[in-house]
Amino acid sequence: MSRTVIGGKLYRMGRWEPDARGRMQEAALELFGERGYARTTAAEVAERAGVTERTFFRHFPDKREVLFANDDLRDRLAATVAADEGASPVEAVAAGLDVVAGVLQDRREVAVRRARIIAAHAELQERELKKLASWSTALEHVLRGRGLAGPDAMLLAEVSVAVFRVAYARWLEEGTGRGLVATVRETLADLGDLFDHAVQGLHNHSPGSHEGRHPPG
């Protein structure tokens, strides 16, 4: 039985070990950071994690997916929005973003390492955008189920995921110790302020908005 060390902890490779998925994700982050994403193989990740390569591929279709195995977060977002029937669609989405942010905000150190790896590879950036698009699709489906009209459901879903993406980037960059939940809420408030200014600007420049301000020539 072989042994491996991940994050300073010793593991023994056997037929079954608890939290194999989590260990493989941590091992991948370590190896991608040490050797680079392109120079790391799935077999090497499996070896570092103390599992077989076959076990690796039971959990992930390829080494890239180790960084994007977060469908549970998308599902939590959709489930929260669907369950909060007494709230308005906007309030339900805000509650869903709170839930997702609450899960992630204790993982900042891991999130920063992950973000650095993704930022260095166009292939991974593209995959990140596709994953976020799946969040928008799931959210739109739930909002339609709540009775929101199609175009409105699409708009709210796309904007909400964009808000989360911006808030997540802020949270990673600032390093102030402020939680992701607070950052998401602040970003939502910033968006509301921008919309208020935009609507006011449209009103001020709309036809007839200056009627009565100047005497006829």
Same domain, yes or no, for 75 and 127? yes
The range of the structural domain enclosing residue 27 comes to: 3-66
Report in angstroms the alpha-carbon separations of 216 from 97, 211, 213: 53, 10, 10
Asked if residue 49 belongs to a domain, the reply is yes
**What domain count does the chain have?**
2
What is the CATH classification number for the domain harbouring 11? 1.10.10.60
Asked if residue 211 belongs to a domain, the reply is no
Question: Does the pTM exceed 0.85?
Answer: no
Same domain, yes or no, for 102 and 83? yes
Per-10-residue mean pLDDT of the chain, 217 residues long, equals 47 57 95 95 96 96 92 94 92 96 93 95 95 96 95 96 96 84 94 76 60 47
What is the CATH classification number for the domain harbouring 125? 1.10.357.10
Q: Name residue 148's amino acid.
A: L
Same domain, yes or no, for 34 and 132? no
